């Protein structure tokens, strides 16, 4: 058996899990509600791209990361706690086979779940608007898949580094709290220390760069660009830790990065670099998790 066979077996087990299908079903149902809300929203002129903006705010920042963390956090530590790792090693698997197989399997699960939800979103958009911009929606689906992969890799990496279910769960929950609740205030604090005040409507490029090292902020940037409208973060830190005039806060599109940075955007604030950031958030946790698992005492 190889890592590919481990991935296939683990994926098949996940597909047979009622919990996984229940999660996918709830996800798809929420997508129906989200798209219906997009159809009646006044984010723009009832364009189909409202679906991207509303999905990014609710589905992308809340549902996709949470489902990905649920899918991945027990990948390795579950086998470790149950003693199944000894059986896998007894079948001539090494630790790399186990880790890469589990990672590939869980990435496959979140890919299927996300594609189902996105298919529902596109179908609803077609019903509501009659047509959708194909290239834009393909980009939206691609970046959403990448977000799911990011949080799955983080969860599997955490699972490989821990020796108990509770520690893995704590690491998964902690990562989500870091990206949603702690990252933005921490960067705002760095700006205050360096500049002597909080960021205003215009801010140094390095400030926006540090913000967009957060995979959720990178996702918001790309989806906002695809929808051609500003997408609020799930908490809306701009109105809390930045010194922005109320007039700008009321005019959401004025908060687009292209309007807050003078001149052309540097490459590290571009959409393609946001994609690179998310790819790094897949690669780095996977490498760190594997090395920790490789060197761990599993007795």
What is the secondary structure of 208-237 as a DSSP string? HHHHTTSHHHHHHHHHHHHHTS----SS-T
**Could you tell me if residue 200 is inside a domain?**
yes
Looking at residue 44, its pLDDT comes to 43
Average pLDDT, integer, range 257-280? 90
**Could you tell me if residue 231 is inside a domain?**
yes
Looking at residue 213, its pLDDT comes to 96
On the CB side of 166, CA atoms within 13 Å amount to 0
**Could you tell me if residue 288 is inside a domain?**
no
What backbone phi and psi angles, to 5 degrees, belong to 60?
A: -65, -45
Question: Among 45-49, 157-161, 222-226, 294-298, which stretch is predicted with the lowest mean pLDDT?
Answer: 45-49
Find the domain containing 134 and state its range: 3-163+171-283
**Could you tell me if residue 298 is inside a domain?**
no
**Could you tell me if residue 192 is inside a domain?**
yes
76 or 123, higher pLDDT:
76
Give pLDDT tens digits for 35-72: 676 666 544 445 677 778 878 887 788 889 998 999 89
Give pLDDT tens digits for 69-92: 998 998 898 888 877 777 776 676
Rg (CA), the chain: 20
Average pLDDT, integer, range 142-166? 94
Looking at residue 219, its pLDDT comes to 95
Give pLDDT tens digits for 175-189: 999 999 999 999 999
**How many domains does the structure of the chain reveal?**
1
Q: How far is CA 264 from the centre of its chain?
A: 27
**Could you tell me if residue 237 is inside a domain?**
yes
Whether 174 and 65 have beta carbons less than 8 Å apart is answered as no
If we measure between CA atoms, which residue out of 94, 85, 89, 81 comes closest to residue 162?
81
- Gap between the Cα atoms of 21 and 38, Å rounded: 25
Looking at residue 178, its pLDDT comes to 96
**Mean pLDDT taken over the chain:** 86
4: pLDDT strictly greater than 50: yes
**Could you tell me if residue 108 is inside a domain?**
yes
Average pLDDT, integer, range 104-128? 85
Looking at residue 45, its pLDDT comes to 45
What backbone phi and psi angles, to 5 degrees, belong to 54?
A: -70, -40
**Could you tell me if residue 80 is inside a domain?**
yes
Q: Residue 289: in which H helix or E strand, if any?
A: helix 271-295
CA distances in angstroms from 168 to 38, 75, 81, listed in the order given:
36, 10, 11
**Assigned token pair, 95:** 């630790």
Please state, for a pLDDT cut of 90, what percent of the chain lies above it.
Answer: 41
């Amino acid at each position: 058996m190889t890592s590919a066979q481990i991935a296939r077996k683990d994926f098949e087990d996940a597909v047979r899990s009622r919990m996984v299908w229940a999660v996918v079903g709830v996800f798809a149902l929420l997508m129906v509600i989200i798209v219906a809300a997009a159809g009646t929203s006044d984010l723009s002129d009832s364009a189909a791209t409202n679906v991207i903006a509303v999905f990014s705010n609710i589905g992308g920042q809340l549902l996709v990361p949470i489902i990905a963390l649920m899918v991945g956090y027990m990948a390795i530590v579950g086998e470790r706690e149950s003693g199944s790792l000894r059986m896998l090693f007894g079948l001539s698997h090494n630790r790399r086979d186990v880790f890469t197989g589990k990672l590939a399997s869980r990435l496959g699960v979140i890919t299927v779940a996300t594609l189902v939800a996105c298919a529902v979103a596109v179908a609803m958009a077609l019903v509501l608007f009659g047509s959708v911009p194909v290239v834009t929606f393909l980009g939206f689906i691609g970046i959403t898949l990448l977000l799911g992969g990011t949080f799955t890799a983080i969860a599997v990496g955490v699972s490989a580094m821990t020796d108990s279910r509770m520690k893995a769960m704590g690491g998964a929950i902690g990562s989500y709290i870091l990206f949603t609740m702690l990252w933005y205030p921490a960067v705002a604090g760095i700006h205050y220390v360096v500049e002597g005040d909080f960021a205003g409507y215009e801010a140094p490029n390095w400030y926006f760069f540090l913000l967009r090292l957060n995979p959720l902020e990178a996702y918001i940037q790309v989806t906002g660009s695809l929808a051609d409208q500003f997408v609020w973060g799930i908490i809306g830190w701009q109105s809390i830790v930045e010194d922005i005039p109320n007039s700008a806060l009321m005019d959401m599109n004025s908060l687009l990065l292209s309007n807050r940075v003078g001149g052309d955007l540097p490459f590290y604030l571009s959409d393609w670099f946001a994609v690179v950031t998310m790819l790094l958030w897949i690669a780095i946790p996977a490498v760190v998790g594997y090395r920790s698992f490789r060197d761990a005492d599993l007795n």
